[in-house]
Chains A and B, each alone.
Chain A
Amino acid sequence: MNAYISDMRAMRLRLKAALKRGLVAVLDVGTAKTVCFILKVDPAALDQAMGQGAQHAAFGAMRVVGAGVTQSRGVRLGEINDLEEAQKAIRTALERAEKMAGARVDQVIACLSAARPQSFSSFGEVEIEGDTVSNHDISRALSACAWPAQQAGREVIHSMPVNFTLDSATMAADPRGMVAKYLSVDLMTVSVVTAPLQNLATCVRRCDLELAGVVVAPYAAALSGMIEDEHKLGAACIDLGAGATNISIFLRNHLIYADSVRVGGDHLTSDIATALSMPIQSAERIKTLHGGAVATGLDDRELIEAPYIGAGGASDRRRISRSALIGVIRPRLEEMFEDIRNSLDQAGFDNLPGRRIVLTGGGAQLTGVEEVAQRVLGRTVRIGRPLRIAGLPETASGPDFSSAVGLALYAARPQDELWDFEQVGGFKSRARVANALRWFRDNW
């Protein structure tokens, strides 16, 4: 685990260096599209904004100077299953973005769109060594937290202290310098399946890029899809992707739950294609152009061109009513939201003070989807468009870009993961010697 945390530290250092240089890229390899933004950061303004804790000022310190969007290749259900193809997509997107920016970027924050994230909360308490809380106390409290049981093939990707308690008085803000006797910390850990993470890292590395951070998609989507008050009061964000649906819950500005359901917009398309025996491309087309979730009387009269699979001449043309299309979409959508409801119930969303739900992602563009969501989930639902950052092209500002924009916000967000705190270990120097010896053994 230590080696892993040092990897995370290395990534964080790379990100800091990139921010200081002022140019960093974000990369979202999704099921449907691969998005790359190049951000130009004003390091002085960013430092100042972070010092004041003003998140929105921090967003103001950066600007999108390059954007590249291309169709994803070699990705299935949010996971890369063909390295070569995925690399081609990444190269295409990056090339477009770099061309637009007129600069080369080497550090990239990547989004792990679906790798079955699981969140895990733990709690650690220590007695404070001095009178006031120091960095060292925080580190000790963090290391006192239970680490999720090491599961084969899973890896921790986020580990955030979400809440500090001083002598049983909760205070979410920075506890350093406060007077107390006991310090306890709630740690939120997100783990993902290793294989997709490794595949993503490999793709990025093979495109001559350095990873400056990996963010799970639910977190990224929630960062941009929800507004600051929703982060604070508590809300759930549902990112309806093409291959996976990501669920995240925020409370007091912190991610407290992340999950992913492996159904998405592509399933709607394949349902349409199967039910109406249409080519997949045409199914995707009529879904995006005419698709809807709620049928009205008018939809019976609205006819849509819907070719058969293998249709040749004009004689093979077919027209279906829009309500028939909705009739295919609706049940699958309800099924998806039921899955989501299960996940939310599992997280105990019912008991949270804020109970808003924000829909974002490409699926949120479907007409009437919020109505279905509201009916199934029993909550107020709104469509969340990503926060506008300066320089973002109009075509990349819809709900379907919320996780890519979220990555950009992640770069500017005050960083507070476990690995940003100093590591507590009794035998630091000995560990270093041991590492050196191991390196020699491995390499000679």
Chain B
Amino acid sequence: MREVRPPRDYAPTRTGFRIRRLLRDQAFQKFATVWAPLLLVLAGIGWVASQSELRNATMAKFDEMKNEALERPEFAVTRLSIEGAAPDVEAALRRQLEYTLGASSLTFDATRARRRVEALGWVRSAQARLEAPRTLNISVTLCQPALIWRRGEALTLLDATGAAIARLESRAEHPGLPLIAGVGANTPKAVNEAIRIFKDAGALGPRLRGLVRIGERRWNAVLNDGPVVMLPAKDALDALAYVKVLEQTPEKPLTKDVTAIDLRIRGRPTLRLGPDALQSLHDGRNATADGEDA
């Protein structure tokens, strides 16, 4: 015979009733959906952090994953576009920025790239920025070469502030630029003065071979055919103007056999004569003396 079971009671059991009411409780719902998961996650993090091996492993794994993500080819910088640079400078820039190609654009440090570009003598200022999707754009402002500075055999290109731009193999690379020499000739003050002297040279210009810095304080202007104009440390331009006026007099002392014209002390120009002139001066003096004597 089939077993007869009493019909199931439709009334909720006490436990079920309590559980369901608990689930309906708003405070409990809030706890279960917000606080409990939060606590659980925090506890998990705390536990992992408290186990040093686990923590290290986790950190290592995390770093690995991070690097993997960063080094994906999709993020690499692949193109370098350079604006405002001459072809030879551009090549130098490319050499300088070679390290960025293939590196991740996510970790790219634009400041560092800019510093590296600006470290080049030719570059006065530069901007570096990443352009979507994978191009590094560098725009540079180049220095204007103003002078050539000679130290022994070495030639250096200087800009108007005296900053070194590049080394030169020969003057022929920049035939139009004036030459300076001497220790301390590249200070901004000296360079500035030298540029003004070259500009003001006027008629003297074609004869001016260059300036030599003496004692890191004043200039000697060396003329093509020998004489040296020793300019004072102060008011060098006035002294130069004096020389120019002097050259317009019929005597034209600088075309004579003069090794130097000393203008270092204002109001007391001094000529240093060449050996021939000195001889003739002696001769002249002797003749006069003789005549007087006679």
Cβ of B17 and Cβ of A91 under 8 Å apart? yes
CB of A92 within 8 A of chain B? yes
Are the CB atoms of A104 and B26 closer together than 8 Å?
A: yes
Which B residues from 165 to 183 make CB contacts under 8 A with A? Answer: none
Q: Which residue of A87, A92, A95, A103 is within 8 Å of B20 (Cβ)?
A: A95
The answer to whether A208 and B11 touch (CB under 8 A), given A103-B24, A104-B24, A104-B25, is no
A266 within 8 Å of B by Cβ? no
| A73 vs B9: C-alpha distance when bound (angstroms) | 12
Question: Which residues of the other chain, B, contact A103 by a CB distance below 8 angstroms?
Answer: 24, 26
CB-defined A-B contacts under 8 Å, sample of 9: A87-B14, A89-B11, A91-B11, A91-B17, A92-B11, A92-B12, A94-B17, A98-B21, A104-B26
Q: Is B18 part of the contact surface with A, judged by Cβ < 8 Å?
A: yes
Nearest neighbor of A89 in chain B, beta-carbon distance: B11
Contacts of A73 in B (CB 8 A): 11
The size of the chain B interface, using a CB distance under 8 A, is 12
A88-B9 contact given A95-B17, A104-B21, A208-B18, CB 8 Å threshold: yes
Residues 10-52 (chain B) with a chain A CB within 8 angstroms: 10-12, 14, 17-18, 20-21, 24-26
Contacts of B24 in A (CB 8 A): 98, 102-104
Q: How many residues of A contact B (CB 8 A)?
A: 15
Chain B residues positioned under 8 Å from A104 (CB to CB): 21, 24-26
Residues of B within 8 A of A98 (CB): 20-21, 24
What's the nearest-Cβ distance from chain A to residue B14, in Å?
A: 7
Measured CA separation A14–B25 after assembly (Å): 18
Bound complex: CA A104 to CA B24 (Å): 5
Residues B10 and A91 in contact, CB atoms below 8 Å apart: no
State the main secondary structure of chain B at its contact with A: helix
For B9, the chain A residues whose CB sits under 8 A away are: 88
Given contacts A103-B26, A104-B26, contact A92 B10 (CB under 8 A): yes
Chain B residues, Cβ within 8 Å of A102: 24
A interface, CB within 8 angstroms of B: 70, 73, 87-89, 91-92, 94-95, 98, 102-104, 207-208
- Give the number of A-B contacts (CB < 8 Å): 31
With A70-B11, A91-B12 already in contact, 17 other A-B pairs whose C-beta atoms are closer than 8 Å: A87-B14, A88-B11, A89-B11, A91-B11, A91-B14, A91-B17, A92-B12, A94-B17, A95-B12, A95-B17, A98-B20, A102-B24, A104-B21, A104-B25, A104-B26, A208-B18, A208-B21
Q: How far is the CA of A65 from the CA of B225 in the complex (A)?
A: 115
In this complex, what residue of B is CB-closest to A92?
B11
Q: Give bound CA distance, A408 to B29, whole Å.
A: 28
What is the CA–CA distance of A102 and B24 in the complex, to the nearest angstrom?
7
Contacts of A91 in B (CB 8 A): 11-12, 14, 17
Nearest A residue to B27, CB-CB = A104
> In the complex the two chains form, what is the Cα distance from A430 to B14 in whole Å?
44
In the complex, A98→B10 CA distance in Å?
16
Interface-central residue, A73, A87, A88, by most chain B CB under 10 Å: A88
A73 to B21, CA, bound (A): 22
List residues of chain B with CB within 8 A of the CB of A208. 18, 21
- In the bound complex, what is the Cα–Cα distance between A208 and B12 (angstroms)? 14
Q: How far is the CB of B97 from chain A (nearest CB, A)?
A: 65
Whole-angstrom distance between the alpha carbons of A87 and B10 in the complex?
A: 13
- For residue A207, which residues in chain B have a CB less than 8 angstroms away from its CB? 17
A92 surroundings in chain B (CB, below 8 A): 10-12
Residue of B nearest to A85 (CB): B11
A70–B11 Cα distance when bound, in Å, is: 9
Residues on A with C-beta less than 8 A from B12 are 88, 91-92, 95
B124 to chain A, nearest CB (A): 73
Question: A96 — nearest CB in chain B belongs to which residue?
Answer: B12
Minimal beta-carbon separation of B181 from chain A (angstroms): 95
Complex CA gap A104/B20 in Å reads 9
Closest A residue, CB atoms, query B25: A104
A209 (CB) vs chain B CBs: closest residue:
B21
B20 to chain A: closest CB distance in Å? 7
Q: How far is the CB of B23 from chain A (nearest CB, A)?
A: 9
Which residues of B sit under 8 angstroms from A70, Cβ to Cβ? 11
Whole-angstrom distance between the Cβ of B210 and the nearest chain A Cβ: 97
